[in-house]
Amino acid sequence: MHSDGTESPAQVMAAAHRNGLRTAALTDHDTTSGWAEAAEAATSLGMTFVPGMELSARHDWRSVHVLAYLIDPDDPDLRAMTDRIRSSRLDRARVMADRISRDYDLAWEDIVAQTGQDATVGRPHIADALVARGLVRDRAEAFSSILSPGGDYYVALYAPDPVTAVELVVGAGGVPVIAHPAGRAGLLPEPLMERMLQAGLAGFELGHRENMPEATRVLRRLSAERDLIVTGSSDYHGLGKPNQPGENTTDDEMVARIFERATGSAPVHP
């Protein structure tokens, strides 16, 4: 991964292959820089590679992740937005590090040491630095304590509103799907979802361990009524999360619909 997973794109594809997957996507936060390595690794293992990205968005205080399958990686508007998000992520990580270092023995260099070259910096890298310093046990503890949005050290990152995010993905020929849309934060407000659908939102990632059953049922009904695309994915992060490749999958019919709808880039077959 080239964002906040602990494995390289090739290792992620190898893990998918070990777990029996025939098709796998790489959806790093706000970057496509891992595609070439992942495509090479996946196809050499006989798998189809689906290029993707997870675009950061924000609605009021809450972060919304828009999966962007088969986008044109050189689309200028989308590139400008991801450049802006990534640079703001870096500034934000520095401010959070400053705040944390007032109370804990943590330096900016500790975070840099946890961040791969060209990686999209996020709280997971700060979490890894806190773990390396022995200040917390693991990422989960870091997220529920020092890095929590309610805490003194948290800084929100810049991200476009979810409708703009969908427009950008559609403009880049991609297929936008809301990631883990039924998580603990609850469903997005209906009018917002409606505006996202009007803008070209293709569907929802309903197979994800963070989705809650009742909210998932609501979106499943909506998806059936509106003939939307429904996906499932593991959100594998290597050692960064317990998620395992293949714990959720996307039906062949839905994969085919994503392939048909996209004009930005193509799946890479073995």
Give the separation between CA 225 and CA 206, rounded to whole angstroms. Answer: 15
Give the separation between CA 263 and CA 270, rounded to whole angstroms. Answer: 20
Contact 232, 248 (CB under 8 A): yes
Give the separation between CA 179 and CA 194, rounded to whole angstroms. Answer: 16
* Residue 212 backbone dihedrals phi, psi, to 5 degrees: -90, 145
* Bridge partner list, 88: none
The verdict on 80 binding ligand AMP (CB under 6 A) reads: no
The verdict on 4 binding ligand AMP (CB under 6 A) reads: yes
Contact 1, 34 (CB under 8 A): yes
Site map 241..260 versus ligand AMP, x via CB under 6 A:
x-------------------
Closer residue to ligand AMP in complex, CB, 1/45: 1
Q: How many residues are there in the chain?
A: 270
Closer residue to ligand AMP in complex, CB, 2/241: 241
Take residue 61 and report the two structure tokens written for it: 């205080």
Which of the residues 117 through 156 are near ligand AMP (CB under 6 A)?
122-124, 139-140, 143
Pick the stretch among 38-46, 116-124, 190-198, 200-208 that binds ligand AMP (CB under 6 A). Answer: 116-124
Closer residue to ligand AMP in complex, CB, 85/172: 85
Minimum distance from residue 114 beta carbon to ligand AMP (Å):
13
Give the separation between CA 230 and CA 139, rounded to whole angstroms. Answer: 29
Site map 26..65 versus ligand AMP, x via CB under 6 A:
----------------------------------------
Interface with ligand AMP (CB under 6 A)? 4, 122-124, 139-140, 143, 240-241
